[in-house]
Structure 1
């Protein structure tokens, strides 16, 4: 069989390239086999990536056993948690495009035959999947696995985000400094992606639902031995993909993306998945309009069969033991495109039929299709005079009594100003906190309003106030919130002209986000509005702020 790598490794014309490979230590035998890249985002800064060096060793074992040669290289991976609440968060979403671009460069420059993608966290996973879709070569994604839960706090196992909730409680004298300091030591007991169902674990689960991972591999905890066995199986699978030419563009299709959306809705995953799935879809020329229609249409008919932190006290280890994504997909199989091809070379249906579960099912975590947790939307797309091009919310994480909320606007032009007001006790019951100029261009980088929501929760405001923004939210947020408002304020969207005291209604059942101001008044205010100056005039963020598309189009760089 002729491989892609043969294009630059055949003798005698390409002996120079062969000598380059041999300088690294490859042999003639190595260069006669398919050359499989491992794009590894291992680093010592991110808990979700700290084990990827060990995981990669087992991927290498699988590749070698299946008859391939390995070419491993590094990929950047920044931590959303560390970047929260300061200037570093501007870089997190933009890093997704850098990751996709870097992998594209390495694969194409070295004419690799296939690629294994190792990552676990929020922007790394979608960036890697974007690269796979763009490259149209055999590709497979392998996460490092979630973290174990910490000690119990506020009725559930703690996780890293507990510290932000605890800060709100400390500020409002609900806990003392001793309890707060102990939590710092005990909320994150192992490496792995965060123990809750945030964006990181959502995207790992959706990679599996897309067919881009070995079935069952999304949720095996980072410290379990099974994580290493999945790694070896992944190595074997990518070599099989190369020999059978099962390329990523054959797997990532409109049908498989709909499967991923179904799983997203059925599990109440992160709102950020809307942004990322749209970006992945764009790489295979599926438009934002098609994707937004799919989110709205599929949310109407997908029951929520899984409930995990922050929607319940159960964490990712519990989700895994309850059956994980294979169990969820079995329960909603009647809604899926079962003939979609996957990395195994088999269809979704074939994978589900042959999957063997290791633990007893737990209906506290995953219920049956006939008896779901809810028939309400896991995620919802809103429109209205405040969001002409859509906004995103997560009913699964919002108390039903807050699904219809009207309040008065308290407007802030940055995340920091809002957090200062919240911790300063300036937000009261009935307020709608408006945080703007935090979109893809205006932020730039569409920062997460994670700390603002956590502070409101910790101060007892989660069921008494709401927050809307052209920024994003962490998958762990709860309360009443709407994000991804498009057009964003920096592009002259209606959010830019909201004034303190304006009445705003969030109506999730009817899919509406409404500013109680006449259309004439909105237009008059827009006439006097002035576009803010860019916050960055040099470096990558200056480029991103000029070229980023709107949130409804995936916030990708568009030329």
Structure 2
């Protein structure tokens, strides 16, 4: 199956700016020519935007200027006019209070830049966690032809003969320090080996997960997700994507043609197979909301529940993205899904062909990295969606990163009112906590933090770590880094800051976690819950103004993607009248 192409030539958006001899057309063209552009570049050829999230404050994306040049080569070769422009770049490792607070701001930037400028199609240069969903969200709302090019993962880290996975090793070593099994000097020595090349996380963290989601959705060329940032084939991918976007404009192949319900189903199942980040849940829900697809948490549970996790990568497994690429990358995984009857084979990709046609001839070059189904890391991967009186609208857990013996557990709650309360208490030797307890943290959701930071994988108390325990059940309305691991219940909705039941949990309450039966239950009577909620008062004051106030007033719950209420839906490419 292939996409039905539009007739060519046809009138392009950019001709409204450049295609005529009026005063206004000359005004637009003449100013563009001060960059040294020949007149024949404005002869009706497609104008292709290169939406670049390059920033030295976003280390994962600091090499994207080079990729932009490669994209330009491809665009020129295919007969287009490339125009590169910057958008806000939410850097995961540096931005406070959390990059998630600014994903929607970046998406707004992208949407308005595309709609207001003479752009016929766009190449989305993405990398760091929030840049991929933000650019896909913005492009989906405008719905002009778009293709994603990821910056690619870093090379493997190595320390004393062992692989060092970005993020994952950080959490492991931090816990080892508290347990007394690693020294501070060793930790500092290991730091030098963690990030040894340009690129994003080399684990199956959120950046690599979202690169995989872009490919599984059909919004990137096949093979895009796993090529290391410094591999010459990453530049080739950028070059080919530049060529391809020109043809996509000619064919009028748009995000709404590609990101169908079938495509989202493919992405959800792919996430289960790769052991992808829980952050993908929020981001795909938000992207679907921009396209107008009614995607829900129940879809995540239904579609991913019986998908085996076959990619043996940290944080769920052993290897890193470099080995994943050498083994064949995401096309091999998608082929496996197709062979198992878990793929909508006819879903169209940016290539114009069906996704199955893109992957059917791929081979697996390392079955210890991409495992056979009978040796899967877990036979039931995906994302578990939990519901109950503690999470009426749902919460999520990643089974492949959890301890099997804790997936059914009843324990006494030890409650932290917010992240500051957690930090103040967690190292206190007098804290009344043991390995059977359930750690609960409130007020870290979209409004509560604000922004819903990646603090859900709370570090364990040192007194417990010293006993040899490395995992406990943890529950919050926060997120967790895609590089993290553990039996961690996240995205509990409604969040505590808006009066969800999580807000009234008290230390000493008993909580039951039952992942096989998808249950999260607070052992408190309905009457007592109602009494506590009636006495509850919002703990978070509204910000005085600025973007923080906009965020507070309009952000929606994690269960629908934490997008702004006024941004959901498809608004199209139409722009107001020329002001000249």
> TM-score, normalization: structure 2?
0.91
Q: Which residue of 1 aligns with 2:479?
A: 472
Alignment partners' CA distance in 2, 1:217 and 1:543? 35
Gaps of 5+ in 1: none
Alignment partners' CA distance in 2, 1:542 and 1:499? 30
The answer to whether the aligner puts 1:412 opposite 2:416 as a matched pair is yes
Deviations 1:481-535 (A, max 9, x none): 1011111111111000000111111111010111111111101111111112326
Post-superposition shift, 1:154?
10
Match of 2:529 among 522, 535, 547: 522
The answer to whether the aligner puts 1:300 opposite 2:305 as a matched pair is yes
Secondary structure in 2 aligned to 1:388? strand
The answer to whether the aligner puts 1:80 opposite 2:89 as a matched pair is no
Gaps of 5+ in 2: 1-8, 567-580
Match of 2:441 among 435, 440, 448: 435
CA distance change for structure 1 residues 264 and 160 in 2, over 3 Å: closer, same or farther?
closer
Match of 1:21 among 3, 21, 32: 32
Q: Which residue of 1 aligns with 2:450?
A: 444
Post-superposition shift, 1:444?
1.4
The answer to whether the aligner puts 1:144 opposite 2:156 as a matched pair is no
CA distance change for structure 1 residues 153 and 478 in 2, over 3 Å: closer, same or farther?
farther
Alignment partners' CA distance in 1, 2:460 and 2:80? 47
Match of 2:544 among 524, 529, 537: 537
Q: Which residue of 2 aligns with 1:134?
A: 141
Deviations 1:267-321 (A, max 9, x none): 110001000000000011123xx42231111123322222210011211111111
* RMSD of Structure 2 on Structure 1 (CA): 2.0
Written as runs of structure 1 = structure 2, the 5 A alignment for 1:60-459 is: 60-83=72-95, 88-90=96-98, 92-152=99-159, 156-287=163-294, 290-333=295-338, 334-353=341-360, 355=362, 361-369=365-373, 371-425=375-429, 426=431, 427-449=433-455, 452-453=458-459
Alignment partners' CA distance in 2, 1:15 and 1:211? 38
The answer to whether the aligner puts 1:30 opposite 2:36 as a matched pair is no
Alignment partners' CA distance in 2, 1:417 and 1:155? 35
Secondary structure in 2 aligned to 1:483? strand
Match of 1:50 among 62, 76, 92: 62
Post-superposition shift, 1:462?
6.0
Alignment partners' CA distance in 1, 2:435 and 2:160? 25
Deviations 1:17-48 (A, max 9, x none): 11222233333211121110001111112231
Alignment partners' CA distance in 2, 1:353 and 1:302? 19
Deviations 1:34-63 (A, max 9, x none): 110001111112231121111111111111
Alignment partners' CA distance in 1, 2:172 and 2:515? 25
Deviations 1:128-167 (A, max 9, x none): 1111211111100001000112124796434244234323
Deviations 1:196-255 (A, max 9, x none): 111111000010000000100111001111111111011011111011111111001111
Deviations 1:98-120 (A, max 9, x none): 11111112111112000000011
The answer to whether the aligner puts 1:502 opposite 2:509 as a matched pair is yes
Alignment partners' CA distance in 2, 1:410 and 1:470? 15
Alignment partners' CA distance in 2, 1:158 and 1:270? 15
The answer to whether the aligner puts 1:9 opposite 2:18 as a matched pair is yes
Q: Identify which range, 149-158 or 337-346, moves more after superposition.
A: 149-158
CA distance change for structure 1 residues 496 and 350 in 2, over 3 Å: closer, same or farther?
same
Contact persistence 1:454–1:477 (CA under 8 A): no
Alignment partners' CA distance in 2, 1:170 and 1:412? 23
Q: Identify which range, 171-180 or 336-345, moves more after superposition.
A: 171-180
Contact persistence 1:342–1:348 (CA under 8 A): yes
Greater helix proportion: 1
Give the total of aligned pairs. 549
Alignment partners' CA distance in 2, 1:24 and 1:214? 31
Deviations 1:396-432 (A, max 9, x none): 1012111112211111122232234333443531221
Secondary structure in 2 aligned to 1:71? strand
CA distance change for structure 1 residues 556 and 272 in 2, over 3 Å: closer, same or farther?
same
